[in-house]
Amino acid sequence: MSTKKATATKVPAEGKDGLKEQAKQFYTTMYRIRRFEEEVFEFYKRGLMPGLAHLYLGEEAVATGAIACMRDDDYVGSTHRGHGHMVARGADLNRMMAEILGKKTGYSKGKGGSMHIMDMSKGFLGANGIVGGGIAIATGAAYSAKLRGTDQVALSFFGDSAANEGTFHESLNMAAAWDLPCVYVIENNLYGISVDIRRVTREHDLYKRAAAYGMPGVAVDGNDVFAVRDVVQKAVDDARAGKGPTLVECKTYRWQGHHVGDPAVYRDPEELAEWKAREPLVVLEQKKLLTAKEIAEIKASVDAEIAAACKFAEESEYPDAAEAYADVFVD
């Protein structure tokens, strides 16, 4: 077992044409997440979104690159900052936006909202309001796959703060002990709400914790979608092959505060400016795999999708009050 820090992006395996096609897909997905989150923020500012939402702006490359490695029958465990994962998993944008606005047409008929958004049909085990809550659930899905003898893999996203929760330790320990087909992806955006990870953790490289469990640990530039994809693909392949779990740390940054209502005064504006300068879309554009025209086409197409989702959500009705009493139990 080795614990290593990933270096520069390796030459992709796709070949030239495949590479361009992959770049288009990555750009489309990342831009879709970007636009989706911007509109969520707009709804919040217009007073149309109840409660709060934790935006994924700036971290789009992690979800996009990692989920690109997953098969349709695999499982994805998410976090309170889960919109990006679900968009990347190919969820229905209309139903997502409707759920976030608390409408009856939403994924959970308005019962879950942003923080519990879920699509079981896509093996998306749900956003989760409890930091670290999703780690054990994804690990259980991996255990389930192993019990059933399938080669499904579970991918567990969580933040740097969740790595300090007990479930992180318990889950990684068991997954390693039993060679569970699970890939753990830390989205290290440096802040747990207002607290800088560097103020509460001596070892800032969280991937190094993997060594303690006896599993591979890898760090990667979380703003480089290809880099993320490459690292996670290896981890997924290993998991599927029965070689056990891997811990991947994606170094990234969130643009907004912890949620839409957090002005993030605890951060140095210069730090934000530095990260924005090399944000995921820019990093991909700099690879010169796509022309300006291609990018413009992608944007126009995605903008239309997002506009339609917003329209759908806004025009949808709120659920009947009686709906609150349904779905506590199933038959």
Partner 1 sequence: MRELMVRDAILEALDEEMARDSSVYLMGEDIGVIGGNFKCTVGLKDKYGDLRCKDSPISEAGIVGMGVGAALTGMRPVVELMFADFLMVAADGLFNQMAKITYMSGGQCNVPMVVRMPLGGGRSSAAQHSQSIHAWACHIPGVKVVVPSTAGECKGLLKTAIRDNNPVMFFEHKMLYTTKFNDVPDLGEDICIPFGKARIVTEGTDITVVTNSRMTIYAEKAAENLRKEGIKAEVIDLRTLVPLDTETIINSVKKTGKLLIVDEGHISYGVTGEIAARVMPDVFYYLDAPIERMGTADVPLPFSPALEFPLIPDDKKIADKIKAMV
**Interaction site with partner 1 (CB under 8 A):** 75, 77, 106-112, 116, 118-121, 123, 125-126, 128-130, 133, 135-148, 154, 166-167, 170-171, 173-174, 177, 326-331
CA distance 324 to 188: 36
Nearest distance in Å: CB 176, partner 1: 11
Closer CB to partner 1, 58 or 134, in the complex: 134
Minimum distance, C-beta of residue 75 to partner 1, in the bound complex (Å) = 6
No. of helices (H) and no. of strands (E), the chain: 12, 8
Least distance between partner 1 and beta carbon 260 (Å): 20
Q: Is 299 helix (H, G, I), strand (E, B) or coil?
A: helix
d(CA 181, CA 74) in angstroms, rounded, equals 10
Nearer to partner 1, 93 or 154 (CB): 154
Q: Which is nearer to partner 1, 166 or 261 (CB)?
A: 166
User: Which residue number, 60 or 119, has a Cβ lying nearer to partner 1?
Assistant: 119
Complex with partner 1: residue 136 or 290, whichever CB lies closer: 136
Structure tokens at 74: 């695999």
Closest CA to 155 of 97, 33, 71, 268: 71
Rounded CA separation 238/235 (Å): 5
Q: Partners of 88 in the beta sheet?
A: none
Q: Least distance to partner 1 from the beta carbon of 159, Å?
A: 16
Please give the Cα distance from 191 to 265 (Å, whole number): 12
Is there a contact between 137 and 88 (Cβ–Cβ < 8 Å)? no
Q: Name the residue nearer to partner 1 (CB basis): 135 or 219.
A: 135
Residue 73, Cβ neighbours under 10 Å: how many?
Answer: 12
| 169/81 Cα distance (integer angstroms) | 21
Closest approach, Cβ 51 to partner 1, in A, equals 13
CA-wise closest residue to 244 among 187, 174, 185, 186 = 174
Q: At 238, give phi and psi (nearest 5°).
A: -60, -45
Min dist. Cβ of residue 38 to partner 1 (A): 25
- For the CB of residue 223, give the shortest distance to partner 1 in the complex, in Å: 29
> Considering beta carbons, is residue 120 or 195 the nearer one to partner 1?
120
